[in-house]
Amino acid sequence: MLRNALVLLSAIILVISAVGWWTLGRTTDNLGSGGDFGLGSEKDGATDILLVGSDSRTDAQGNPLTPEEVELLRAGDEEATNTDTIIVIRVPADGSSATAISIPRDTYVHTNRLGNTKINGVYGNTKQMVEEELAGSGASPEDIERRSTEAGRRALIETISDLSGITVDHYAEVGLLGFVLLTDAIGGVDVCLNEAVYDEFSGADFPAGSQTLKGADALSFVRQRHGLPRGDLDRITRQQVFMASFTNKLLGAGTLSNPAKLSELGNAVQRSVVLDDNWDVTGFATQMQGLSGGNVKFETIPVTSIDGVGDYGESVVTIDKGQVHQYFETLLGTKEEEAPTKEEDDKKADPNAAETTVSVYNATGIEGLASGVSGFLTEKGYPQGEVGNAEFAGVASSQINAADPEDPAAQAISEALGGVPIVHDPYLDPHHISVTIAGDYDGPGLTSEGMATDSGDGAEPAPEVEDGSNGDIIGQEGGEIPQEDRPAIDAAGVTCVN
C-alpha cells in the first residue's frame, strides 16, 4: 500500500482560528470527537498541540468514504490507521506566532505496549491490540471501535510526550479526505520545484518551477519520497512548504472575506477534523486572531540517521532522545512552572488511596526493590497487595496496570513514582492497581530511605554533549545524512524545493 503523508497545520489551526465567529460557532458543534484525554491542564503560557494525519478511509464522523472518494485520493484499497504525518505546534499565549515541528514517520521509538516500533504505527497497532483484547468482552462493535481508537490516540500522545519531553495540551487529527477538501476549499496551493519529478509510487508527475496544485495532485506532492535525495526528510520539507503556502494564501487578501469560501472551509473542517473533547476552540480562535503568515515557522526534529535498521531488519529513522529533548527545550523554551519540592510531593496524599489496593512486582535483580516501593506507597495511604518478584524477569520497562488509565489513584501513583507509564488492563479490578518495576526505574524505593537514585545497575549515565546527545538511540544507526542547504521556511511566501 502506498503510504500517505497528510498536511494539517494550516488546515486545522488557521482555518478554525480565522474563519470568523459565525463559521466558528457552527464548526465547533459539529467537529469530530477525538476523546477525553485529560489534556490542557498544564498552564505555562503556551499551547502545545499534537497534529496527526491519518490514512483512515473514514471521515471525522466515522463514516466510510465512498468508492469514488477513495479512487480520487489515489490511496489504494488497503485500509490502515498509520499516522504518516506527525507535527507538534507551539502557540504562545498571545497567539502572535506558531512553530511547527515535524517528526519523521519512520522515527524508531520504544513504547511499553509495543516495544520498539516506528512512530507512525503506534496509533494503529495499539488500536488493533485493544480491539483484540475487547473482542470477547461482550462490548458492542461501536464501543470497541470507540475505545480502541481512543487507546490508539492516547498511546501516540504519550509516545510524543516521551520523545519530545513536552506535555501535549491538545490533539487534532485529519484524514485523507480532509487534505483534499481543505486544499480545494481555498482554490489550490502554490508550490515550486527545483527540478521536474516523476514517481509512480505516489503519482507525483510535475514540471520544474511554480505551479498551483489541487486535490489528489496536492496529495501526491506531499507524499512523494522515492527519488528524493534525503527521502523522508525531503518529503517533510515538501509538507512544510505546502503548509506555508497554504497559510500564506489563507491569510492573504480575498480568502477570508469571501462568504462562499468561508462556507466551504467550514464544511471541510466539519467533515475532516477531529479534536480532543477538552479543547475550547472559541477561546483558541480568539488567541490566534493576531497571527500573520511570516510568524509561522517550520522545523524538523534532529535525527542521527535516515537509513537505520530496526529489530526486524526494517528501514528506520534513528534519533538520540537526549538531543531531541534539548532541541525542543531550546526551540520552544522550557515550560516555566514552579514544581513542588520532593518533600512536599511525597507528603501529598491521594484522597482515593484507602480505596485502592496496590501490588508491586520486582522485574529487576535488585533485592528488596518491590518491598521498598510498596513501603513508600503504603506510607502514602495505599493498602498493600501482593509484593514479590515479577512472573517474567527481564521486563524492559516499568509500568502501572490499571482498569482505567484515567483513574485518579493510578495517576497519583504514576506521579509519585516519577512518571511511570500507565497501561490499560481490562482484567484488573477497578480498585486494584499493579506496579511492575523494571531496570529503567529511578523513583522512590530504590534505597531504604525511599529516595530516587540512579538506575540501580551501578553504571554511570552517558555523558551529554552540547546538543544534548547522550547515546539514547533505539535501533542500529545508518550512514551519514546527506547535507542540505535549506532556506528557512515560513508562511510569508513560496519556497522552491526538491
Phi first, then psi, for residue 223 (nearest 5°) are -95, -25
| pLDDT at residue 296 in the model | 73
Supply the pTM of this predicted model. Answer: 0.66
Residue 190, beta-bridge partner list: 212
Residue 347, Cβ density class (10 Å: 0-12 exposed, 13-18 middle, ≥19 buried): exposed
Tens digits of residue pLDDT in 24-47: 455 555 555 666 776 766 666 678
327 vs 259, higher pLDDT? 327
Q: Residue 324 carries which side chain, given as an amino acid letter?
A: V
Least confident of 14-18, 64-68, 293-297, 329-333: 14-18
Mean pLDDT of the chain: 78
* SS3 state of residue 493: coil
Query: Which CATH number describes the domain made up of 9-319+480-497?
Result: 3.40.630.190
Sheet holding 170-174, edge to edge: 32-33, 273-275, 170-174, 46-53, 85-92, 98-103, 296-300
CA 185/CA 254 separation, integer angstroms? 13
**Strand stretches in 217-313, DSSP E:** 273-275, 296-300, 305-309
| pLDDT at residue 217 in the model | 92
Query: Which one, of 385, 374, 379, 370, lies nearest residue 348 by Cα?
Result: 379
Instruction: Return the CATH number of 342-437, one of 2.40.10.10, 3.60.40.10, 2.60.40.10, 3.30.70.2390.
Output: 3.30.70.2390
342-437 matches 9-319+480-497 in CATH topology: no
Residue 163, beta-bridge partner list: none
- Domains of the chain, by residue range, sit at 9-319+480-497, 342-437
Tens digits of residue pLDDT in 121-172: 999 999 999 999 898 888 898 899 889 989 999 999 999 999 998 888 889 8
CA 416/CA 395 separation, integer angstroms? 21
Residue 342, Cβ density class (10 Å: 0-12 exposed, 13-18 middle, ≥19 buried): exposed
